[in-house]
Amino acid sequence: VRRAALELTPGMYVNLGIGMPTQIPDYLDPGMEIQVQCENGLLGTGPSPPPGQEDPELINAGSELVSFLPSSSLFSSVDSFAMIRGGHMALTVLGALQVSQCGDLANWVVPGKLVRGMGGAMDLVAGGSRVVVTMQHTAKGQPKILEHCTLPLTGRHVVNRIITELCVFDVTPTGLELTELCPGESVSTIRAVTGCSFSVPDVVPTMQF
């Protein structure tokens, strides 16, 4: 999550998906002005509220408590999705169940398991913003980055970057490229836990936090 926070730049309008991405505001510099948008009708949310200062009526799309800033605003979910579908988000950061080597994303359902709904992810990845996935590299010992997703897709060819606890991949027209390595990790380690091939430049920078 700390590495994913570096994807945000001052003045950016960004949507943070349920799960790990919602923690990103906690790692931003206090003075950085970011407009975090939530599908349920919030714009300009701040970090998690301090204990004792929570407002049960201020929640994000994942029903997590959020704080308000002087620039924050409230509106209907209709207006919220108009912002998303109108291409007004510069960046979308999502969690994922699986990502393919060509940027296909599966993150909304596991067949046979109860799900409350697909949420706004399908609209977000179709809205034209840059899409960054932040997730654990594996689940129950199995790779989540694959040649082809086996779970129902949220979108095809929509992911631009994948950030895990081990490395960073960029999705290119020819497949995945390893662009950063977490300190202490090696290319061979990444290959062992990744379910597809990827290219490696001559020099792979160390992941920054």
Using alpha carbons only, how large is the chain's radius of gyration in Å?
17
The structure tokens listed for 161 are: 């970057």
User: Which amino acid would we find at residue 13?
Assistant: Y
Question: In terms of Cα–Cα distance, which of 108, 172, 101, 167 is closest to 135?
Answer: 167
CB 131 within 8 A of CB 92: yes
Question: In terms of Cα–Cα distance, which of 1, 4, 20, 13 is closest to 127?
Answer: 13
User: Which amino acid would we find at residue 70?
Assistant: P
| Neighbouring-strand partners of residue 180 | 168
So which residues are the catalytic ones? Answer: 39
Q: ∠134-130-63 over CA atoms, to 5°? A: 55
CB 62 within 8 A of CB 18: yes
**Strand bridging mode 130-134 / 91-94:** parallel
The structure tokens listed for 117 are: 């709904």
